[in-house]
Amino acid sequence: MKIVNVKLLRTLNKLSLPKPWDTIIILLLTLLTLIPVFIILHQNLIDPEWPAHLDRILLFLLITAIVTYILHYIKQFLFFAIIIYVLVLLFGTLFTGYGFKSVFEDYRAMIYAMTDNPNPQDIIVSKLLPFPNKSKIIKAIEYDNPHVRNFAVGATTKHFRNIKGYKEYRQIIQCFAIFKEIQDNWNYVNDPKNREYIATASESLQHFSGDCDDHSILMAASVRAIGGTPRLIHTKEHMYPEMLIGTKADLENVIYLIKEVLFKKESKGRTIHYHIDERGQVWLNLDYTAKYPGGPFMSEEILGELTLN
């Protein structure tokens, strides 16, 4: 038994890294381990929204200390730790879809969102006023109309078709293509005097003209026509569409897409605006008043919302 233990120790000593390489490898492994662990915790822990993201800074430092201590404790086994780390990410790359590239993209989006300081608005509560002209508006949102569907599909082939990667956000990118097509062509026209005229989505497609109600209806119908989830927000003097993005972790990636990939020029130096509902879901503003998704809200009290599941 002693002979076996001696042989095992000799083998471990041969595989252990000499100084100063052991310290260098510990620092490298700390960094490589820190990134995915921090991303997972960042995306799943409740954000207390401390000033200057102090909670996330403390979390980062805590994980760094723990990982560094563990690696120092097992430094005789660093050679095996490197192999295990590479194999885990390789397995994720090949079989689960979350590997080397995904870790890099998530980390980049997370850091970008933290430094960009997006502008969340107050949570929309469920106790709102009845939505005006609800039945007429729902009927006007002709998401299954062939003309509306063809327009939506056509927009996805015209804009952002060649964007590589971001497979999990393909539908959102396509909805942004619809937003761009409508925004590039929309012409604001008032309703007839003393009358609330509600145009159907297919009617608005003829001239890309109308007021905020008509724009909201067309946007909602087109987004829903390709599987997105839109909703309409009603204020005293305005109506505008929003689109479901998902969680705050999804929002980080979407902000990066808007500001660095899809609407880089339009959103430069500007803030991303969104609402968080009572279930913690993020809704991005798609109003015609901005040339990029997440543009500024009209500063009016929200009176009602109509979600189109």
Q: Which amino acid is at 93?
A: T
> 296 and 166, same structural domain?
yes
Domain boundary among 53, 83, 98: 98
Instruction: Determine the pLDDT at residue 28.
Output: 75
pLDDT in tens, 48-87: 767 767 877 888 888 888 888 887 777 666 666 677 777 7
Inside any domain, residue 58: yes
Residue 267 has pLDDT above 70, yes or no: yes
Domain boundary among 41, 75, 98: 98
Instruction: Determine the pLDDT at residue 113.
Output: 59
pLDDT in tens, 117-147: 555 554 454 456 788 899 999 999 999 999 9
> 300 and 241, same structural domain?
yes
Q: Which domain holds residue 193?
A: 134-307
146-158 and 212-225 helices cross at what angle (nearest 10)? 80
> 290 and 191, same structural domain?
yes
Look at residues 92, 105, 82, 94 and name the one whose alpha carbon lies nearest to residue 35.
105
Domain boundary among 48, 80, 98: 98
Residue 184 token pair: 């590039």
> 149 and 293, same structural domain?
yes
Inside any domain, residue 109: no
> 141 and 288, same structural domain?
yes
> 140 and 94, same structural domain?
no
pLDDT tier, 4 (very low <50, low <70, confident <90, very high otherwise): very low
Residue 6 has pLDDT above 70, yes or no: no
pLDDT tier, 183 (very low <50, low <70, confident <90, very high otherwise): very high
Instruction: Determine the pLDDT at residue 227.
Output: 95
> 81 and 166, same structural domain?
no
pLDDT in tens, 147-163: 999 999 999 999 999 88
> 75 and 190, same structural domain?
no
Inside any domain, residue 243: yes
> 51 and 159, same structural domain?
no
- The CATH code of the domain that includes 147 is 3.10.620
* Arithmetic mean of pLDDT over the chain: 81
Write the DSSP string, the chain: -HHHHHHHHHHHHHHSPPTTHHHHHHHHHHHHHHHHHHHHHHHHS-----GGGHHHHHHHHHHHHHHHHHHHHTGGGHHHHHHHHHHHHHHIIIIIS-SHHHHHHHHHHHHHHHHH--EEEEEEPS--PPPTTHHHHHHH--TT-HHHHHHHHHHHHHSSTT--S-GGGHHHHHHHHHHHHHHHH-EE-PPPTT------HHHHHHHTEE-HHHHHHHHHHHHHHTT--EEEEEESS-EEEEEEEESHHHHHHHHHHIIIIISTTTTTT---EEEEETTS-EEEE--TTSSSTT-PPPSS-EEEEEE--
Inside any domain, residue 105: no
> 254 and 207, same structural domain?
yes
Number of domains in the chain: 2
Instruction: Determine the pLDDT at residue 286.
Output: 96
Instruction: Determine the pLDDT at residue 116.
Output: 57
Inside any domain, residue 60: yes
Instruction: Determine the pLDDT at residue 124.
Output: 54
> 80 and 185, same structural domain?
no
> 189 and 47, same structural domain?
no
pLDDT tier, 108 (very low <50, low <70, confident <90, very high otherwise): low
